[in-house]
Amino acid sequence: MVLILLGPPGVGKGTQAVRLADDLGGAHVSTGDLLRAARRDGTELGARAQKYMDAGELVPDQLILDLVREHLAGIDPGAHVLFDGFPRTTTQATGLSEVLERSGRRVDRVVLFEAPDETIVKRLSGRRSCPECGAVYNTFFSPSRVEGKCDRCGGSLVQRPDDAPATVQRRLEVYRDQTAPLVSFYEQAGAPFERIRADRSVDDVYADFRSAMEVAG
């Protein structure tokens, strides 16, 4: 199954994708995580992406499509693939369809996670993550046992620079202008589409997400 998780920044796509990938055994492909890894590794792509990410703007489509193509080449063609934060523009969505077609696949399901801006802003202001193992916490909703330290590996937790309030506002605008049009793109394309109210507990959101996958078969 090829699944796309759509939704604004901070709505909980990554949190839900990790759970579903654990359950289904599929590959979780987050372009945000791939770009942050490229920055940590000091690659040319990471350096080119940095200014866009720090400003809350989208990284150019061609860079993203090359990154995804290269990443997909390393994934078993029969595996479930959960795209989180990709595609984000209609150019990326068209590019993805072309890549999938070449291997006889297609987008099997699109899930849109929705929450009011106030919820998103609070979640992003409280998000902390572990640069060592990637675990994600929230100072309001799911704090680590020891403040500032990762429960899993003891690493020092950090706040993403793009979670600063002004950048969050810009990311929300960019979402509305450039990514929200994908809702009608996929609805018109006839892809099975689900909307999930994400302003509830992680477990409640996951219960709906999981049952949407069962419907998908």
* Catalytic site positions: 13, 88, 127, 160, 171
**What whole-number distance in Å separates Cα of residue 196 and Cα of residue 209?**
7
Rg over alpha carbons for the chain, rounded to the nearest Å, is 17
Q: Out of 43, 62, 103, 142, name the contact with ligand AP5 by CB under 6 A.
A: 142
String of contacts with ligand AP5 for each residue 33-72, x by CB under 6 A: --x----------------xx--xxxx----x--------
Closest CB to ligand AP5 among residues 205, 213: 205
Question: How many residues in the shown chain lie near ligand AP5 by CB under 6 A?
Answer: 35
Q: Are the beta carbons of 14 and 209 closer than 8 angstroms?
A: no
Question: Residue 9 Cβ, how far from ligand AP5 at the closest point, in Å?
Answer: 3
Closest CB to ligand AP5 among residues 38, 104: 38
Using DSSP's 3-state secondary structure scheme, residue 192 falls into: coil
**What whole-number distance in Å separates Cα of residue 117 and Cα of residue 129?**
21
Best CA proximity match to 161, nearest among 12, 88, 56, 57:
56
Say whether residue 185 binds ligand AP5 (CB under 6 A): no
Q: What does 59-83 look like in DSSP terms, one character per residue? A: PPHHHHHHHHHHHHHTS-TTS-EEE
Closest CB to ligand AP5 among residues 15, 208: 15
Q: Give how far Cα 105 sits from Cα of 21, 23, 69, 185, Å.
A: 19, 22, 14, 18
Q: Out of 27, 90, 100, 141, name the contact with ligand AP5 by CB under 6 A.
A: 141
Say whether residue 15 binds ligand AP5 (CB under 6 A): yes
Which residues in this chain contact ligand AP5 in the complex, by CB under 6 A? 7, 9-15, 30-32, 35, 52-53, 56-59, 64, 85-86, 88, 92, 123, 126-127, 136, 138, 141-142, 162, 171, 201-202, 205
